[in-house]
Structure 1
Amino acid sequence: MHDIEAGDRLRVVVGETSPRPEALVGGPQLAAAGVDVVARASRYSDLALAIRGGSPDVVVLAAGLCAVDGEIPEALRGAFPLVPVVVVTAAYNDDELLRMLRGGVLGYLRHDMAPDSMARALFGILAGEPAIPRALVARVLDELRRLAPARSRLALPQAHLTEREWDVLELLVQGLHTNIIAQRLFISPVTVRSHVAAVMRKLGVRSRAAAISHVLRA
């Protein structure tokens, strides 16, 4: 999980259905951990205005809001492709996770997680790290492996990943960092970074988390 440097601040816009702001994301503990909620909204139109006006680093959506309007994550990805979207939920659900990842969401978190843990996860997403619950990693891996026969039919012709690049991608899903991936695959960290860069270039994405989401949508 990402380490937060002293003085780091993260600007967040929150989309929620709860009448109590503190029920989702916010409060003094999260602010103390470096996360500033700059706006809240309960409709897509208001979210779009808040993003344009608030220049957030990350958008955090309540799973309940996505249930009301399932098009919100994908609409945000289309309108604001450089702003990562995270979903927070009251209870993990593997089908919901896959649906959100396919919609372009880069993180899936429990809303009641400790404020410092949520802050590290949000900073990590901004740094390109996927935020997938350990309990659901196996389901995401199963889905990636299910796609294996269709690997040559990804959305972009230039997105044909090599077997080694798929190996690296599967380890990224598990939240493993460069050095650990290198140990698992018996290659150097430099080679891992080269494979990650190749994956992102072929998929036309800017982060490791976005690469996972892209493949699940293919």
Structure 2
Amino acid sequence: MHSAPSPLDHAPVLPVVVIEDATDAVPLARALVAGGLPAIEVTLRTPAALDAIGSIAAEVPGAVVGAGTVVSARGVADAAAAGARFLVSPGWTNGLLDAMEASGLPFLPGVSTASEVVALLERGVRDMKFFPAQAAGGTAYLKSLAGPLPHARFCPTGGITATSAPAYLALPNVGCVGGTWMLPADALAAHDWTRVESLAREASALGG
């Protein structure tokens, strides 16, 4: 459906980044890319998010930066204009899906029920975000979906840690997991990009 690769196919872990200060975006992205996590989801939860996406897109050649927490057609347009190369939503409506499809960018609409998965498959969408993963049933839930809905592939996000990630990644219907554990608050506050790179490297090895 899209010529660009799915966000599920870049690395086993998709870092979910909340950026408060846009000047942190480039060094943060460089650390993640150096650690082997090229796809980076910057959530549209802060005023700095769109500037951060633009900076990463312009200044970090190895990064594939996307926008997360996309919940409206306006969010789709703003993210695309800023330079986002993929879109992620916590949930979806027909209107939001129409806007994401019209953007031409790869996208991961969020689901947490079997009916939502069926509705997306009906519209030709196979790659989805499973959110909030732990709260919505975790690996047991995804395992249950694999039988009746084998064509759906997921990026579970929400409450996943370095410890629980391998169990998700072992499932046949999981392409990658989303998480924040490689971005500890104290490391970000201290601008300790070396530590971020080290944690990213550990995360990128989980898929092996």
TM-score, normalised relative to structure 1:
0.36
The structure showing larger relative contact order (alpha-carbon pairs under 8 Å, at least 6 residues apart) is: 2
Structure with max Cα Rg: 1
